Amino acid sequence: MPKLRNPFRRTYSPNQIVALNVGRARALRGWTQEQAAEALAPYLGTKWSNASFSAVERSIAGTRVKQFSADELVALSRGFDLPLGWFFTPPPPSEDAGVAVPDAGMLNGTDPKLLLDVVLGTDDNREPWHRALLDYASETAAREGTTRNAPPPSGKVDTGIDGLAELRAAAELRQAFGDVAEARNVLLRFADLLARLDQPDAPARADTNRSRRRRTT
């Protein structure tokens, strides 16, 4: 029987998701709030006080939610030395939380996987970004004295886009199977089953061969 979704499940706004992941980033680095404020100060242009830092992390409670600017998001990424996407990582599935966005409302929110679509893109919308990055890389190469049709420097753009697609696929596999290694085992068994089903006369041929061997012995 499928698990019923809690009709009153917890929801987070995107800003609360960022606040949640600021706390996770600080725990990952093993920093106190003071140490984190020191690390962020050069990139923020100011140093958050302990009270300000505490207020940011308490944003997840929903009382006074910190509204992060694009400048602050870039500073967080640089200060914690983590990709920008880290700060939009959804809560763990076990929490069964939703993301509150205007078109979904605050009551139940929408599937947190929306954040993966926003950060990593989808097969349907990733191509324009891919082209824009390739154009950027080509112009960078041209300024360095190469031709405009030269491949991107070190192939970083292609590798990065492919990596995003693979990361998204891995995230979806984990959501479906819980573990990528287990997903691989399941898919391999499934592929083996399909291969055998694709040869419906194989069992009959095997029985015929066994009968022939019996008659010759």
* Structural tokens at position 87: 């700060």
pLDDT given for residue 168 in this prediction: 63
Apex CA 82: angle with CA 80 and CA 84, to 5°? Answer: 110
What is the token pair recorded at 7?
């009709």
Top mean-pLDDT range of 49-53, 135-139, 194-198, 212-216? 49-53
Q: Is residue 107 part of a domain?
A: no
At which residue do the structure tokens 């600021």 appear? 22
Does 3 fall in a domain? yes
pLDDT value, residue 166? 65
Domain count, the chain: 1
pTM for this model (two decimals): 0.68
Q: What is the CATH number of the domain that holds 13?
A: 1.10.260.40
Domain annotation covers residue 166: no
Token output for 52:
């300000």
- pLDDT band, very low/low/confident/very high, at 137 (cuts 50, 70, 90): confident
Q: Tens digits of per-residue pLDDT, 24-56?
A: 999 999 999 999 999 999 999 999 999 999 999
Measure the CA–CA gap between 217 and 207, rounded to whole angstroms: 16
39 within some domain:
yes
Q: What percent of the chain has pLDDT over 70?
A: 65
The DSSP code for 110 is B
Mean pLDDT on 96-121: 87
Lookup result for tokens 């880290």:
86
169 assigned to some structural domain? no
Full domain range(s) for residue 51: 1-100
Does residue 132 lie within any of the structural domains? Answer: no
DSSP character at residue 30: T
The type of residue at 119 is V
- Per-residue pLDDT, 37: 97
Average pLDDT over residues 180-185: 64
Per-residue pLDDT, 4: 47
Please indicate whether residue 105 or residue 75 has the higher confidence score (pLDDT): 75
